[in-house]
Amino acid sequence: MDRVGFDKFKHKIKNFNFKGDNTMILKEDKFIQFNEQIKQQGGCKKVSFEEGEQIAAELLQELTKSKTGVGIAAPQIGYDAQVMVVNVKKPMVFINPTILSLDDEIIYKEACLSFPNKHINTHRYKWVNIKADNFQDHYSCGGSMVFGPTNEHMEEDGQDPDGLLEGVCIQHEFDHLQGITMYDRRYIVPQVKSEKTYGRNEKVILIKGDESKTIKYKKAEPYLNDGWVIQ
């Protein structure tokens, strides 16, 4: 996931020193193809802990190079593996993650390293409860962890945009492991009903489900009462 409007936050990866500028991130068309393959097979493959750590190191390297990125998942650099990393508050690695629950639906503006310069509104959740195979080893946490806008008492904190970004980023990267992109989560602003008035003999297009018909407005009323709408 790309950082949108969060430029004030600096990268927090300090312990990794990588060389080379050549990005491993798949180009958009190649990624779309690979993503489709992941989706068709029902998601990325599980990996061993060792393999997961190796891929996570490469992912962190890519994230550091990207400058604006806050998260990246294995399929974005061509790996069919359940590994993702997120770096908002601190670098977090997730090997074979599972989302246990999502709470409180929100609309969020996001971007993706695989779709440069595209910003879209998405359906997300404020809170995500997630577990992963490496939690015990990396974070001394054997169970699940909750991410979202939270203060030190684990209470909701509206002043914690980093926490919200981190939680959304986790959802975004987890989706990549299933072959789901931000476009599958797109929020479309509902159309406001037209205030336009029509002449009695003006032709209008009526739509109901997959059907459509063109008739004069004066004959439209029974259809409109039957669930048809004017396009």
| Least gap, CB of 112 to Zn ion (angstroms) | 3
Cβ neighbors of 14 (< 8 A, separation 6 or more) are none
Measured from each CB, the residue nearest to Zn ion is 112
- Three-state DSSP class for residue 70: coil
Segment near Zn ion (CB under 5 A), from 43-51, 111-119, 141-149, 160-168? 111-119
User: Does residue 183 come out as left (phi exceeding 0), alpha (psi in the -120 to 50 range) or beta?
Assistant: alpha
CB closer to Zn ion out of 1 and 60: 1
CB closer to Zn ion out of 1 and 93: 1
| Least gap, CB of 160 to Zn ion (angstroms) | 22
- Among candidate residues 62, 110, 166, 173, the one labeled active-site is 173
Q: Catalytic: 173?
A: yes
| Least gap, CB of 161 to Zn ion (angstroms) | 19
Q: Is residue 112 involved in binding Zn ion (CB under 5 A)?
A: yes
CB-based burial label for 214 (10 Å; 0-12, 13-18, 19+): exposed
CB closer to Zn ion out of 1 and 56: 1
Q: Mask: binding to Zn ion, 171-210, rule CB under 5 A, as x and -?
A: ----------------------------------------
- Cα 66 from chain centre: 17
Give how many residues touch Zn ion by CB under 5 A: 2
Q: Is residue 25 involved in binding Zn ion (CB under 5 A)?
A: no
Q: State the Cα–Cα distance between residues 20 and 8, nearest whole angstrom.
A: 25
Q: Is residue 169 involved in binding Zn ion (CB under 5 A)?
A: no
Q: Which of residues 137-156 bind Zn ion (CB under 5 A)?
A: none
Sheet of 229-230: strands edge to edge?
A: 211-216, 203-208, 229-230
Closest C-alpha to 78, from 40, 44, 47, 112: 44
| Torsion angles phi and psi, residue 87, rounded to 5 | -135, 85
Residues at the interface with Zn ion (CB under 5 A): 1, 112
**Residues with catalytic roles:** 173
